């Protein structure tokens, strides 16, 4: 065999051997490295499943809940931003307003709940970022944002008397709403007035924006009255809800009722049923008599300005028939402008002549500086809520809604004005 033939034969044998080796490496038989490599592929899949299972086990069991729901645009200013967790404890709660200001809140002792310390602002966007952990220390996170109800979509009731005050036996609980109330029944149901005296207290709607509460007779002296407003979320009119949620209390002082007799031109002051003083007065002139009826002192001013133009008493030039810049010891009895006040400009009229434009005048001095004058004494011994009764005047009885004077309506009519 020539050298060239021998080389061709060796090349052919080498090619056959290479083919056998390639086929052997790819055949995947039952023994040797082929089985090991096949097994290795199986191990890879099993490890991935284990990884997935382990990852699933690492999710925290803590479940965070936030109210209101994310994206709410008409949220309560009182009951919004409540955070709670189950299967864990809260570790961090951050609440901020749109301007970045932090909202202070309190975490419960068991670290299960959180809420703001004070009412929120209306028409304001807020964000909440909450973190909690479970028993294994694994953390969970939750975020939410919402906007509180706007002034256009909410109503409030301005009330009198003030929380913590001591008032006279005639002081009603009076609420003036800043928007007309169409749903009077639900709104009145959200308001509770009670007294430690046990007297029945009933509300009366004078109009769509004023609701007063009182008992049949004057409050019992020494009792405590509570006003509870549970109006948050109560619909007062379509698309308009309440935002108030609070309780206020006030005390009833001694029973003082003063009776002005326009005919005898005297006022008799009684405390707890006993006469303590009789004072000469000057009531409304024949052309401008004082209203008759039961009136409640609603405001007190040591000195105030009284201008006739503000209550319809004007000269031909349109200016007030009177303009006294320093009326002493003035106490309001009606919305329309009836006062009982000191008078330093009238001489010799007290107990002898009725000369005013409808007010009740008491002898006094300019500057309100003499405590011995009748005006000063009555001012110093009167509370908001004390009753002043006027009788024997030539005018009509004052309207129940002219001031805090619902006592001029009989009990059956009063109760008929309740929506509940």
Instruction: Read off the pLDDT of residues 53-112 as tens digits, 9 standing for 90 and up.
Output: 665 567 999 999 999 999 999 899 998 799 999 999 999 999 999 999 999 999 999 999
Please, are residues 193 and 226 in contact by the beta-carbon 8 Å criterion?
yes
Rounded CA-CA distance 219/221 in Å is 6
Pick the catalytic residue from 204, 329, 357, 359: 359
Question: Taking the domains of the chain in order of start, what are their residue ranges?
Answer: 63-149, 153-253, 256-403
- CA-based diameter of the chain, in Å? 166
CATH class of 153-253: mainly beta
With 0-12 CB in 10 A as exposed, 13-18 as middle and 19+ as buried, what is 321?
middle
Q: Select from 127, 126, 184 the least CA-distant residue to 155.
A: 184
- The single residue of 204, 329, 341, 357 carrying the catalytic annotation is 341
For 78, the token pair is 């009182």
Cβ neighbourhood burial of 84 (10 Å; 0-12, 13-18, 19+): middle
Asked whether this chain's domains 63-149 and 153-253 adopt the same fold, the reply is: yes
Least Cα distance to 337 among 360, 363, 369 occurs for: 360
- pLDDT value for 380: 98
Domain 256-403 architecture: Beta Barrel (2.40)
Question: Is the CATH number of domain 63-149 3.50.50.60?
Answer: no
Q: Is 26 annotated in the active site?
A: no
What are the backbone angles phi and psi of residue 380, rounded to the nearest 5°? -70, -25
Q: Which of 367, 337, 339 is nearest to 283 (CA)?
A: 339
Give pLDDT, residue 272. Answer: 96
Residue 45: what pLDDT?
A: 55
| Interatomic CA distance for residues 222 and 406, integer angstroms | 21
Contact between 250 and 165 (Cβ < 8 Å): yes
Q: Does the reported pTM lie above 0.75?
A: yes
Q: In what order do the strands lie in the sheet with 256-261?
A: 274-280, 266-271, 256-261, 387-391, 293-296
């Amino acid at each position: 065999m020539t050298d060239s033939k021998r080389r061709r034969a060796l090349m052919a044998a080498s090619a056959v051997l290479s083919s056998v080796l390639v086929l052997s490496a790819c055949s995947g038989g039952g023994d040797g490295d082929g089985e090991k490599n096949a097994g290795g592929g199986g191990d890879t899949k099993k490890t991935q499943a284990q990884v997935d299972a382990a990852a699933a086990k690492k999710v925290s069991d803590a479940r965070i809940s936030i109210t209101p729901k994310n994206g709410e645009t008409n949220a309560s200013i009182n009951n919004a931003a409540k955070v709670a967790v189950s299967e864990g404890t809260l570790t961090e709660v951050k609440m901020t307003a749109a301007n970045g200001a932090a909202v202070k809140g309190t975490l419960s002792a068991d670290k299960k709940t959180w809420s703001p310390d004070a009412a929120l602002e209306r028409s304001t966007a807020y964000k909440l970022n909450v973190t909690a952990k479970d028993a294994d220390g694994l953390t969970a996170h939750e975020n939410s944002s919402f906007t509180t109800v706007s002034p256009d979509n909410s109503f409030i009731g301005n009330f009198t008397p003030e929380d913590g005050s001591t008032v006279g036996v005639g002081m009603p609980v009076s609420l003036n709403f800043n928007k007309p109330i169409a749903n009077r029944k639900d709104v009145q149901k959200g308001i509770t007035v009670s007294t430690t005296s046990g007297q029945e207290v009933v509300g009366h709607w004078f109009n769509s924006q004023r609701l007063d509460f009182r008992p049949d007779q004057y409050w019992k002296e020494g009792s405590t009255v509570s006003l509870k407003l549970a109006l948050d979320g109560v619909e007062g009119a379509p698309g308009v809800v309440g935002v108030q949620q609070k309780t206020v209390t006030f005390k009833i002082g001694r029973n003082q009722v003063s009776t002005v007799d326009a005919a005898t031109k005297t006022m008799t002051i009684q405390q707890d049923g006993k006469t303590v003083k009789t004072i000469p007065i000057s009531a409304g002139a024949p052309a401008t008599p004082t209203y008759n009826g039961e009136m409640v002192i609603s405001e007190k001013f040591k000195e105030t300005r009284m201008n006739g133009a503000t209550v319809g008493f004007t000269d031909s030039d349109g200016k007030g028939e009177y303009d006294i810049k320093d009326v002493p010891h003035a106490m309001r009895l009606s919305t329309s402008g009836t006062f009982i006040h000191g008078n330093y400009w009238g001489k010799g009229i007290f107990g002898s002549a009725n000369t005013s434009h409808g007010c009740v005048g008491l002898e006094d001095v300019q500057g309100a500086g003499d405590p011995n004058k009748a005006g000063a004494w009555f001012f110093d011994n009167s509370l908001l809520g004390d009753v002043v009764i006027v009788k024997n005047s030539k005018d009509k009885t004052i309207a129940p809604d002219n001031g805090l004077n619902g006592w001029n309506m009989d009990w059956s009519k009063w109760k008929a004005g309740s929506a509940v």
